[in-house]
Amino acid sequence: MLTRIDHIGIACFDLDATVEFYRATYGFEVFHSEVNEEQGVREAMLRINGTDDGGASYLQLIEPIREDSPVAKWMAKNGEGVHHIAFGTADVDGDSEAIRDKGVRVLYEKPRRGSMDSRITFLHPKDCHGVLTELVTAATPEPSGDPEAH
């Protein structure tokens, strides 16, 4: 069952400058940052609020590290902005299988590694009314937030 907005993924050209914008404008701090080689991004997670399922909601600021990454391809067409939304679930395997059975394309056969050792998969935007949609199961225990962790 999908029980929260886990994060909103925001593509940016300059991660450091974008982090500084969110800090200076709203007071949001970096909870965690890392490079995800497989996804082709440098990213910063800004924790916005806890949620009543015991998880949390974040902004995920992402800067592509490779020209051939999905985010770089998207930015070449769209520039900066909201790239995807992510729903949190305790069971990404079960929920993605159930959604696949409804005829929505799930992009990965098995969930892959996401931010903070979460497990993630994506639903094709063309099957979701134009929204690239990610499903996330957070690591257990919940991330503690080490901004220097990679």
Which residues sit at the interface with ligand CMX, rule CB under 6 A? 9, 36, 39, 41, 60, 62, 70-71, 73-74, 83-84, 107, 114-115, 122, 124-126, 130, 132, 134
Q: How far is the CB of 9 from Co ion (least distance, A)?
A: 4
Is residue 63 part of the annotated active site? The answer reads no
Q: Which is nearer to ligand CMX, 27 or 103 (CB)?
A: 103
Is residue 43 part of the annotated active site? The answer reads yes
Which is the catalytic residue, given 32, 34, 39, 60?
60
Please confirm whether the linkage preceding 64 is cis (ω < 30° from 0). no
Q: What is the dihedral of CA 52, 55, 60, 64, to 10 degrees?
A: -150
Decide if 83 contacts 132 (C-beta within 8 A).
yes
**C-alpha span between 131 and 89 (Å, rounded):** 18
Which is the catalytic residue, given 39, 63, 83, 134?
134
**C-alpha span between 111 and 67 (Å, rounded):** 24
Q: How far is the CB of 148 from ligand CMX (least distance, A)?
A: 19
Q: Which does 47 bind (CB under 5 to 8 A by kind): ligand CMX, Co ion, none?
A: none
Contact pattern for Co ion over residues 61 through 100, marking x by CB under 5 A: -------------------------x--------------
Q: Is 14 exposed, middle or buried (0-12, 13-18, 19+ CB in 10 A)?
A: exposed
Rg over alpha carbons for the chain, rounded to the nearest Å, is 15
Query: Hey, which residues are catalytic here?
Result: 7, 43, 60, 84, 134
